């Protein structure tokens, strides 16, 4: 701590590392002038620019400047150097709400207190035109007094992100907590989507487990789309009724924020007269918010980049996302041209040919399996950046059969593989796929798209 390198911008003394991700590290630090403890998030500028997360960082800064609320983690100032961006944020040392839930279900009064604080903060965000879009226990922190603090606005959207139809269209979030209208890609109201996610959090706090869960991702989406969940017997009747209004799969009839906050169970012991937080401190004498925008090459998109299905924030450690995209579960499922997620909920889903599967095997094992298939069938193999191309040697009715197998990393231990015919006769491809390829792949497949259970 005596080293010169531990002093940041002559303002903060850096201490122990609190956490580390692919693109950022978070340190405990002390403000040299006030002695206040803060958390310093250090972002590697080159890495986020290389993988296209520029807009996500910009948006996170903009949003955290807008939302100054006692139950939202505060951003004190933003600084930048040539290679790094520094967020000086409120230090919240009570850990994640997720850790409490991991120990088991909470008592009704405790769950209600956290839910009240969550809804109060979310309502405030909505009043400022901010939609979080990734509400889950992992993004809800607790301070030393046990008060909830919403964190991680990396997937949030601002009101101006809405299209002419007044809706948001970027599919993002964490699958188990996301609203059904977000999944079906028809456009959605950010406020109603946040209410749904908050309802899932309430269920988890009281039950100790998720309302919508299935090892098969497609089946879980069907349950979400239909609002199929069952409250455990210990839920009070008024909670059951409230959850049925919140977890209504029809956003048009789902309870609105004002009605939710007027609910008798919700209002018990609730005080809306929270103290007005102090104004946000931004140090403009340094490379602050405005400079951060200048430091990046402008590469704006409709609503910015999104994260993976199972974590908020940047993509997980491992390989750089292919094609300079950061894929989440929704992106991966909708990779095929013209593929509409609403088809996941059609009754004839099992009649469609299968061409996608998930696996927990490493990428090397996936590639080796396709090489094995190619050797058996005398196909030529070309490999590059997660793409395996198989080129047939026999002449068919419409030339040589060509197949692409593209491997997408969801997490370092979970992959989606899409198999596509790129040349040749479709009937010959289907025959080869069903008779030869699919049986050979069974050793590495965890679940086929939509209609088979995991082969654990």
Residue 337 has pLDDT above 50, yes or no: no
Residue 452 has pLDDT above 90, yes or no: no
* Mean pLDDT for all residues in the chain: 78
User: What percent of the chain shows pLDDT beyond 70?
Assistant: 77
28-37, 82-91, 170-179, 284-293: range with lowest mean pLDDT: 284-293
Tell me the helix, strand and coil percentages in the chain, rounded to 5.
Answer: 35, 20, 45
Work out the pLDDT band at 87, boundaries 50, 70, 90: very high
Place of tokens 């209609």: 451
Give the per-residue pLDDT at 411.
62
Give the per-residue pLDDT at 293.
52
Residue 127 has pLDDT above 70, yes or no: yes
Q: Give the model confidence (pLDDT) of 215-240 as tens digits.
A: 888 888 899 999 999 999 999 999 99
The string of DSSP letters for 191-242 reads HHHHHHHHHHHHHHHHHSS-SS--SSHHHHHHHHHHT-----TTS-HHHHHH
DSSP 71: T
| The most confident of 154-158, 316-320, 365-369, 373-377, by mean pLDDT | 365-369
Question: Catalytic site residues?
Answer: 134
Sign of the C-alpha dihedral computed for residues 214, 218, 224 and 230 taken in this order: negative
| The most confident of 115-119, 131-135, 210-214, by mean pLDDT | 115-119
**What are the Cα distances from residue 43, in Å, to 2, 23, 27, 95, 120?**
24, 6, 11, 21, 30
15-29, 237-251, 302-316, 433-447: range with lowest mean pLDDT: 302-316
Which of residues 396 and 353 earns the better pLDDT score?
396
Superfamily of domain 97-267: Transferase(Phosphotransferase) domain 1 (1.10.510.10)
Judge contact between 280 and 74, C-beta under 8 A.
yes
The long-range contacts involving 383-391, CB below 8 angstroms and separated by at least 24 positions, are: 385/322, 386/319, 386/322, 387/322, 389/422
State mean pLDDT over 254-280.
77
Strand, helix or coil at 151? coil
Judge contact between 143 and 149, C-beta under 8 A.
yes
Q: What is the pTM of this model?
A: 0.63
Q: Minimal CA–CA distance to 403: which of 387, 419, 416?
A: 419
User: What percent of the chain shows pLDDT beyond 90?
Assistant: 36
Place of tokens 């596509």: 420
DSSP 188: B
Give the per-residue pLDDT at 61.
85
Give the per-residue pLDDT at 308.
27
Binding-site positions for ATP read: 41
Please state the length of the chain.
456
Give the per-residue pLDDT at 244.
97
- Half-sphere exposure (Cβ direction) of 109: Cα atoms closer than 13 Å: 1
Strand, helix or coil at 126? helix
Q: Give the model confidence (pLDDT) of 398-432 as tens digits.
A: 788 888 888 877 666 678 888 888 888 888 888 88
Q: Minimal CA–CA distance to 74: which of 44, 39, 27?
A: 39
Q: Give the model confidence (pLDDT) of 139-185 as tens digits.
A: 999 999 999 999 988 888 888 777 777 788 777 778 899 999 998 87
Give the per-residue pLDDT at 291.
42
Give the per-residue pLDDT at 410.
64
State mean pLDDT over 372-388.
83
Which of residues 56 and 28 earns the better pLDDT score?
28
Per-domain boundaries in the chain: 4-91, 97-267, 329-448
Alpha-carbon gap, residue 368 to 379, rounded angstroms: 14
329-448 CATH fold: TATA-Binding Protein (3.30.310)
Give the per-residue pLDDT at 287.
35
| CATH 2.120.10.30 describes domain 4-91 | no
CA 150 to chain centroid, in Å, comes to: 15
Which of residues 122 and 449 earns the better pLDDT score?
122
């Amino acid at each position: 701590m005596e080293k010169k390198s531990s002093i940041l911008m002559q303002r903060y003394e850096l201490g122990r590392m609190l956490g580390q991700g692919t693109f950022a590290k978070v340190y405990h630090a002390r403000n040299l002038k006030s002695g206040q403890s803060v958390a310093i998030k250090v972002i590697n500028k080159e890495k986020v620019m290389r993988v296209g997360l520029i807009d996500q960082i910009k948006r996170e800064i903009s949003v955290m400047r807008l939302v100054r609320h006692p139950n939202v983690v505060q951003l004190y100032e933003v600084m930048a150097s040539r290679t790094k961006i520094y967020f000086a944020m409120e230090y919240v040392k009570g850990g994640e709400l997720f850790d409490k839930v991991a120990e088991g279900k909470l008592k009704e009064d405790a769950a209600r207190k956290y839910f009240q604080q969550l809804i109060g903060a979310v309502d405030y965000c909505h009043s400022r035109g901010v939609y979080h879009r990734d509400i889950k226990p992992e993004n809800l922190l607790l301070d030393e007094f046990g008060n909830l603090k919403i964190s991680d606005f990396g997937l949030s959207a601002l009101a101006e992100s809405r299209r002419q139809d007044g809706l948001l269209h970027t599919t993002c979030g964490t699958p188990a907590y996301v609203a059904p209208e977000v999944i079906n890609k028809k456009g959605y109201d950010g406020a109603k989507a946040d209410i749904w996610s908050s309802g899932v959090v309430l269920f988890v706090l009281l039950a100790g487990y998720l309302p919508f869960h299935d090892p098969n991702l497609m089946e879980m989406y069907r349950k979400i789309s239909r609002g199929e969940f069952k409250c455990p017997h210990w839920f009070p009747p008024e909670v059951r009724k409230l959850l049925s209004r919140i977890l209504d799969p029809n956003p048009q009839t789902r309870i609105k924020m004002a009605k939710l906050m007027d609910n008798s169970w919700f209002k018990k012991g609730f005080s809306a007269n929270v103290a007005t937080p102090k104004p946000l401190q931004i140090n403009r004498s340094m490379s602050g918010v405005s400079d951060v925008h200048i430091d990046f090459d402008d590469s704006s998109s409709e609503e910015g980049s999104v994260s993976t299905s199972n974590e908020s924030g940047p993509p997980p450690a491992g390989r750089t996302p292919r094609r300079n995209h950061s894929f989440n579960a929704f992106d991966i499922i909708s990779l095929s041209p013209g593929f509409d997620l609403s088809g996941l909920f059609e009754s004839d889903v099992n009649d469609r040919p299968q061409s996608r599967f998930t696996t927990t095997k490493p990428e090397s094992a996936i590639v080796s399996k396709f090489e094995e298939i190619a050797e058996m069938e005398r196909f030529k193999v070309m490999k590059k950046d997660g793409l395996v191309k198989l080129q047939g040697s026999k002449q068919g009715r419409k030339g040589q059969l060509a197949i692409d197998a593209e491997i997408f990393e969801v997490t370092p231990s979970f992959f989606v593989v899409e198999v596509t015919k790129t040349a040749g006769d479709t009937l010959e491809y289907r025959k080869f796929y069903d008779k030869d390829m699919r049986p050979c792949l069974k050793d590495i497949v965890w679940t086929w798209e939509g209609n088979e259970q995991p082969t654990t």
